[in-house]
Chains A and B, each alone.
Chain A
Amino acid sequence: MDEYFHSVRLIANRCKGCVSCTKRCPTEAIRIRGGKAHIIESRCIDCGECIRHCSSHAKTAITDSFVDLERYKINIALPAPTLYAQFPLEFSIETILGGLLKLGFDEVCEVARGAELVSLIIKDYLNRKDIKRPAISTACPAVVRLIQVKFPELIENLVTIDAPVEVAARVARAECTRKYHLNADEVGVWFITPCPAKMTACKQPLGCEKSNITGAIAISQIYGDLLKALPHADKKTNCNLASWVGIGWAIAGGETSAVEVDNKLVVHEINNVSNVLEQVAIGKLNDIDYIETLACAGGCIGGPLTVENRFVAETRMKQRMQKIKDEYQVLGKRPLMEYQKEKLGIKEWQAIEPRPIMLLDEDILKAMNKVELIEKTLESLPGLDCGSCGSPNCRALAEDIAQGRATETDCLFKLRERVRDLAQEMMGLAEKLPPPLDKDSEESEESEESGKKEECEVCG
């Protein structure tokens, strides 16, 4: 595998080379070169903003497909709770889980159940005295990667707990291996994902060596088939269903309510997240205990690989939560209260490494020279941030120039200036004659001098 695996890709023949994706990218990871968008792999955090904003639909996320299921003896579907928000309430969660079985999965395990476990462990984690505050959620992999590339100083604030999907995968894989007497590698665990960031996290996990998730299938990809299967699906009732606590993780604020932390901050949408992290970095939010950070507006229900409008999805999600709450009350049931530590894999937690993208040069002196060059170049650029050069803004172009990846004439305005100067020079040259042919030269010099004299007389 390459150094970086990314699920966000370009469909080259659809790309018109417009600059909207370059401007939307929160890590300035896209440049237009040769009329097409190019993703700088070291910068991309797979948030999917470019997928969301490309009007030509030239950005996509690679996903696994149903064919891949054939490689395994038993296949488990791990639906993100966001999946439930894609369908009207007439289809119960049990029906949706049944629908997944109809599509060819042998087992289903709700990611929301993983979320319930994780909620409990985070609650305990936040009681610890030795953690850096504010603790920052690791549930959204796009945010974790944003911290790796733009806020490496905040890595120590990240909670050292796996995301719900990873926990759900670990539990489901172990359960199925036991149930069917199989080796772990004979079981395929498939995450039904609302976003490319989580897709990438399966292949390039954060916080663990190897993910328990085999692959990911986009909600938008499975939606059509699932919708057709739902009317014929049996209710999947033989599994423990998650409570409202777990499925609430799909919407912004759901995680912090599940963790039951009062002194919290909930931030969603990647640019908002970036602004808040900036404040954490300068120590402005040290009085907060926990920050729930989600790259998508509205939370996972706003994921770029979902189908339903996020406001509709949010309402549905809340209605489903209320319904479960009511049912629990009638039955006198309570959500999960205890957990087994080994299920969560805390011991396996692997430190998240920084991936600094700002560094201009390994050699500090060279880097300092480049900083100067950037500032100087920036002064000469028009500062319109039009993006026509293929870099997202004038500063980014100045950086690209300093790094030898662009030239000043990539800027349309600088190019125009150069053309104008050259044209003027050419005009001047065109009128110039070699001295033997230039019969007017002496005369003209004389007249110039006399002109000057006149001027002097006038002003003197």
Chain B
Amino acid sequence: MSGGQEITLEFELKAAIFDVAGEASSKTKRVLQQIGIRADVIRRIAISAYEGEINTIIHSCGGVMRVVIFCDHTEISFEDQGPGIVDINLAMQEGYSTASDEVREMGFGAGMGLPNMARCTDKFDIQSEVGVGTKIKMVVFH
């Protein structure tokens, strides 16, 4: 954390570790409630943070979630260490998922993650390179 004008939260997300899945977005939500952000805005931030968190855990080799909260907006970003998305347009389609049956059995991997994140945020940017990793940056105005 630094300064008085912004709050930075950083979480390390490990691949396939489901028992802590959702904790990062829960903590983010708590801070937003503490500073008095509107409930509907919190809901959008929490959903996009959660979807990103789960995506990173399911699909990536591990990564970092970073939330920077300003007075008037929140930035949520994810950066993982691969494997990268082959076809971003396809991944952005509702219902498309590369999740394994095992993951689906746990109730994840419905193919709504990325579309949900895009829908809930005011700015959504995704960059991915196969073999390198995926970077997502989202902004929600309060």
Q: What is A's interface to B at a CB cutoff of 8 Å?
A: 152-153, 155, 278, 281-284, 354, 356, 358-362, 364-365, 367-372, 374-376
Contact = CB atoms under 8 A, between A and B. Distances in A.
B33 to A, nearest CB: 4
A152 B38 CA distance: 9
B26 A359 contact: no
Chain A to chain B: the 4 pairs with minimum beta-carbon distance, closest first: A358-B33, A153-B39, A367-B35, A282-B50
A182 B35 CA distance: 52
Contacts of A372: 1, 4, 7
B8 to A, nearest CB: 10
B39 A359 contact: no
B33 A359 contact: yes
A376 to B, nearest CB: 8
Contact of A278 (B5, B26, B40, B116): B26
B47 A283 contact: yes
Contact of A365 (B31, B39, B46, B71): B71
20 contacts: A153-B42, A153-B43, A278-B22, A281-B29, A283-B47, A284-B50, A356-B33, A356-B39, A358-B34, A359-B33, A360-B36, A365-B5, A365-B71, A367-B36, A368-B4, A368-B69, A368-B71, A370-B34, A371-B34, A375-B1
Contacts of B42: 153
A453 to B, nearest CB: 46
Contacts of B35: 359-361, 364, 367-368, 371
Interface residues of B, number: 27
Contacts of A359: 33-36
A371 B39 contact: no
A369 B4 contact: yes
Most chain A beta carbons < 10 A, residue from B36, B47, B69:
B36
B124 to A, nearest CB: 16
Contacts of B39: 152-153, 155, 354, 356
A238 B36 CA distance: 55
B25 interface: yes
A359 B32 CA distance: 9
B30 interface: yes
Given A359-B34, A368-B69, A372-B1, 5 more contacts: A153-B39, A278-B26, A283-B50, A364-B35, A371-B7
Interface majority SS (helix, strand, loop, mixed), chain B: helix
A284, A354, A361, most chain B CB atoms within 10 A: A284
Nearest to B31: A371
Nearest to A358: B33
Contacts of A370: 34
Nearest to A363: B36
In terms of DSSP, what is the predominant structure of the interface of chain A? helix
A364 B4 contact: no
A356 B47 CA distance: 19
Contacts of B34: 358-360, 367, 370-371, 374
Contacts of B31: 371
A364 B36 contact: yes
A391 to B, nearest CB: 16
Contacts of A281: 29, 43, 46
Contacts of B116: 283
A368 B40 contact: no
A282 B7 contact: no
A276 to B, nearest CB: 13
A361 B36 CA distance: 8
A279 to B, nearest CB: 8
Contacts of B7: 368, 371-372
Contacts of B46: 281-282
Nearest to A374: B34
Nearest to A282: B50
Nearest to B69: A368
A373 to B, nearest CB: 10
A374 B43 CA distance: 23
Nearest to B25: A282
A416 B31 CA distance: 31
A374 B6 CA distance: 15
A153 B116 CA distance: 17
A24 B54 CA distance: 30
Contacts of B107: 284
Contacts of A155: 39
B120 to A, nearest CB: 8
A284 B109 CA distance: 11
B43 A368 contact: no
Contacts of B50: 282-284
A282 B22 contact: yes
Interface string B1-33: 100111100000000000000100110011101
B67 to A, nearest CB: 12
B13 to A, nearest CB: 16
Interface in B81-128: 107, 116
A350 B97 CA distance: 42
A163 B71 CA distance: 39
B43 to A, nearest CB: 4
B25 A368 contact: no
Contacts of A364: 35-36, 71
Contacts of B29: 281
A89 B39 CA distance: 48
B30 A368 contact: no
A200 B22 CA distance: 34
